[in-house]
């Protein structure tokens, strides 16, 4: 448990993160959406609790995308040829990402839709407001 080993473990984790975004189009899409949502959070000045929800959703989706990628790599290693169970493993791992992404969208709608509607209602009442 030396400091050198701890630093190396972080280097490996960052290498995995780099590989995730370089090799997985869906991870890049999730990353871009995360940047847009964080930007919207600053624009709409969301509350502390809303920030916590947004950060947890982003972390969950990206973490599950990373786990899905790891499961795909491992499945391809142990089952290089087609096998129905290998396909099921990949499908279920992808389903975990999908479930988290749908939940994140719902959280985002709950947080941002009222703020967006509020902007439109203010604009409709006073077009010179902005």
Residue 126 CA to residue 130 CA, distance in Å, equals 9
Residue 127 structure tokens: 């077009």
Establish whether 65 is a catalytic residue.
yes
Q: Is the CB of residue 61 less than 8 Å from the CB of residue 74?
A: no
Residue 28 CA to residue 62 CA, distance in Å, equals 10
Out of 37, 58, 60, 65, pick the active-site residue: 65
Residue 47, sorted as left (phi over 0), alpha (psi -120 to 50) or beta, turns out to be: beta
Residue 45 CA to residue 43 CA, distance in Å, equals 6
Query: What backbone phi and psi angles, to 5 degrees, belong to 17?
Result: -65, -45
* Residues with active-site annotation: 65
């Amino acid at each position: 448990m030396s400091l050198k080993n701890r630093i190396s473990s972080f280097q490996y984790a960052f290498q995995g993160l780099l590989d995730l975004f370089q090799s997985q189009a869906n991870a890049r899409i999730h990353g871009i959406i995360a940047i847009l949502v964080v930007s919207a959070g600053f624009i709409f000045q969301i509350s502390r609790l809303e920030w916590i929800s947004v950060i947890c959703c982003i972390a969950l989706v990206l973490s599950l995308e990373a786990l899905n990628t790891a499961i795909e790599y491992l499945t391809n290693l142990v089952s290089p040829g087609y096998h129905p169970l290998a396909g099921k493993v990949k499908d279920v791992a992808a389903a975990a990402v999908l479930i988290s992404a749908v939940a994140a969208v719902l959280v985002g709608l709950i947080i941002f839709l009222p703020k967006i509607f509020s902007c439109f209602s203010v604009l409709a009442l006073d077009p010179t407001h902005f």
